[in-house]
Chains A and B, each alone.
Chain A
Amino acid sequence: MSEPTAPGAAASGATIELENLTKRYPGSPEPAVDSVSMEIGAGETVIFVGPSGCGKSTTLKMINRLIEPTGGRIRINGEDVTDIDPVKLRRKVGYAIQSSGLFPHMTVAQNIALVPKMIGWGKARIRSRVEEMLDLVGLDPGEFHDRYPRQLSGGQQQRVGVARALAADPPVLLMDEPFGAVDPITRDHLQDELIRLQSELHKTIVFVTHDFDEAIKLGDRIAVLRERSHIAQFDTPEAILTNPADDFVSGFVGAGAALKRLNLTRVRDVEIADVPTVTVDDPLQDIFDKLRGGTTNELLLLDKRGRPYKWLRRGDLMRARGSLARAGTLVHDTVTRDATLRDALEAVLTDNAGRVAVTGRRGEYTGVVDMETLLNSVHEMLEADRLDAIEHQHDLEEQRAQLTHQEQEGAGPGPGGPGGAARA
């Protein structure tokens, strides 16, 4: 049900350890980041979420030393990088930011090639890498290779920004509100893409956002930060939704936790059914035969590239006098296998037949989910959560009982310290 938190055998991520990381900006009495400690596993996606100005960006930028820490240590894969040459460090750490940060005077390909060039890759290797990266982020190399950033939409720019950050295959990727400046629909797509990408690459990703829904959708674990980057809770999205540590966290989770829970499960985790399909290139007679002889009274018509195009029912072709162009209803919405159940539910609810086609990377048809499958999955999921929560509650009560016991003996630690919460 939940996100895989352990990296697979092909994990290319690195562990990150922050130890009492502190930043004091000159001229301000309070530190902007006050002694943050956390451990991030290899291949894990960790989201920093918190209100504006709480120190998310500062914490993130200390990891690649764009901001030099005033105290504490940073270790990547066990190596202390707090004092190494920052330029060298940054070439091992991908960095993607809100406005995409693409250099306007360079083409898409030149932007992506920057880091491989700096670390001395050969020309041929760089060229094929650029193609590979464009492909990876879902942009057609032939079309986008020589474009300039200003000839791209916001979403496309963001994709290129991610491609550039990943070009030299760094084990760690830092992202500072990368999807903050694009429209909600594009943002949603980009999030799906990132999930797909991460399931292929297993990088260690640290991602900053102030949008809790985004955090839930993307994170293996979420660090909810309050002022001065104090960690209010550092846990899986499920745990934060079902067991917020305190009022600050519940305030941040906001209303509708049950609906948000739908964001935690993806279409690939539920049963995807198959429907009979035909393609626009099939002879009309075959399509007729299939419709008449088939077990269902509906066919999914795919276009030349195998993408869902139209739903065809019995009689549709007849009514359109055999013209495929006029027959059937256009597929107006599809979801990817990485889409959340919430997106799928939305699509199913708005579909008049209560189903939605599921597509693969290039938009090609892979199956269908319907209302019934979704409802069953949601029920199962909520039931499992409820059991987990009861168990967790039980554990907490036991811990509390123990704590009270210790406190009575005068040896108990103060409750709710940042270190304590971070260990969750």
Chain B
Amino acid sequence: MSTSVDFWDYLGTRHEQLLTDAYQHASAVFQCMVVATVLGVLIGVLTYRSGWAGNVATTVTSTVLTVPSLAMIGLLIPVVGLGVAPTVVALTLYGLLPIVRNAIVGLRGVDPTLVDAAKGIGMSRAARLFRVELPIAWPPILTGIRVSTQMLMGIAAIAAYASGPGLGNVIFRGIGSLGSRNALNQVLAGTLGIVVLALLFDAAYVLIGRLTIPRGIRV
């Protein structure tokens, strides 16, 4: 007879708490992704036309990514305190890299003759950007957003270290009480929750891609 409580029983008794954690996890990732997307595309738009500025943006954002997430949150606590703030800052920073990089690559990849044609038929700078360059660069940008989201799903779990929200709390509780009745179930439930969330987000992105990528450039 096993000492550990059956996993399904555990889920049955704790599902409310788990759902709240999952919701907070998803919500944190979603909100940070929105901010990271806006910032990332903005940085891409501001830098893609200059060789060095684009490279600086890519290098800086990829340097951020080399900082271990635990260390990043640790470093942020003295600056922004505990709780939601360090989570949001860290997630947004990490989320930037793939978006900035793909935005720059995507915008630079727009066929220069198309930009020439857009200018030639009298489109203003803004019209060129919003009606030609960004729509054509959108598929790689969306890929960047997808990659970012997957990455943030995992990183968000670390947020619990700084008393942040999300499924990380469940996992940390499990790790903190290893050997106890529910330890393994907690780690397992948290991890599975994150995987399920990641899959749900990914499905959402596939749908968004279907809805927002014009048929003319869909692969």
Q: Which residues of A contact B (CB under 8 A)?
A: 64, 66, 87-91, 94-95, 97-99, 101-107, 114-115, 118, 148-150, 164-165, 174
Docked complex Cα distance between A104 and B120 (Å):
16
Chain B at the A interface: SS class = helix
Do B120 and A90 touch (CB < 8 A)? yes
B59 at the interface (CB under 8 A from A): no
Query: In the complex, what residues of A have CB within 8 A of residue B109's CB?
Result: none
Docked complex Cα distance between A148 and B136 (Å):
13
Do A148 and B122 touch (CB < 8 A)? no
Contacts A118-B127, A148-B215 known; 17 new A-B pairs at CB < 8 A:
A94-B121, A95-B120, A95-B121, A97-B113, A98-B113, A101-B113, A103-B132, A103-B136, A104-B216, A104-B217, A105-B135, A105-B136, A105-B214, A115-B121, A118-B122, A164-B121, A174-B120
> B113, B119, B214: which contacts A106 (Cβ < 8 A)?
B214
Shortest Cβ distance from residue B129 to the other chain A in the assembled complex, whole angstroms? 13
Interface centre among B111, B117, B132 (most CB of A within 10 A): B117
**Which partner residue on chain B sits nearest A88 by CB separation?**
B122
Shortest Cβ distance from residue B216 to the other chain A in the assembled complex, whole angstroms? 3
Do B216 and A118 touch (CB < 8 A)? no
Docked complex Cα distance between A103 and B215 (Å):
12
B114 at the interface (CB under 8 A from A): yes
B116 at the interface (CB under 8 A from A): yes
B55 at the interface (CB under 8 A from A): no
Chain B count of residues within 8 A CB distance of the other chain: 21
Interface centre among A64, A103, A106, A115 (most CB of B within 10 A): A103
Do A106 and B216 touch (CB < 8 A)? yes
Q: Which 5 A-B pairs have the closest CB atoms?
A: A101-B117, A148-B216, A95-B120, A90-B122, A91-B122
Docked complex Cα distance between A94 and B121 (Å):
6
B124 at the interface (CB under 8 A from A): yes
Shortest Cβ distance from residue A344 to the other chain B in the assembled complex, whole angstroms? 35
B123 at the interface (CB under 8 A from A): yes
Docked complex Cα distance between A114 and B135 (Å):
15
Query: In the complex, what residues of A have CB within 8 A of residue B113's CB?
Result: 97-99, 101
Do A115 and B122 touch (CB < 8 A)? yes
> B122, B131, B132, B136: which contacts A87 (Cβ < 8 A)?
B122
**Which partner residue on chain A sits nearest B215 by CB separation?**
A148
> B111, B114, B127, B216: which contacts A107 (Cβ < 8 A)?
B216
Write the B138-154 contact mask toward A (1 if CB under 8 angstroms, else 0).
Answer: 00000000000000000
Query: In the complex, what residues of A have CB within 8 A of residue B132's CB?
Result: 103
Docked complex Cα distance between A2 and B25 (Å):
78
**Which partner residue on chain A sits nearest B136 by CB separation?**
A105
Shortest Cβ distance from residue A406 to the other chain B in the assembled complex, whole angstroms? 46
Do B117 and A87 touch (CB < 8 A)? no
Docked complex Cα distance between A101 and B120 (Å):
10
Tell whether A105 pairs with B216 under 8 Å between CB atoms, given A66-B116, A99-B113: yes
Shortest Cβ distance from residue B46 to the other chain A in the assembled complex, whole angstroms? 21
Tell whether A97 pairs with B119 under 8 Å between CB atoms, given A87-B124, A105-B216, A148-B216: no
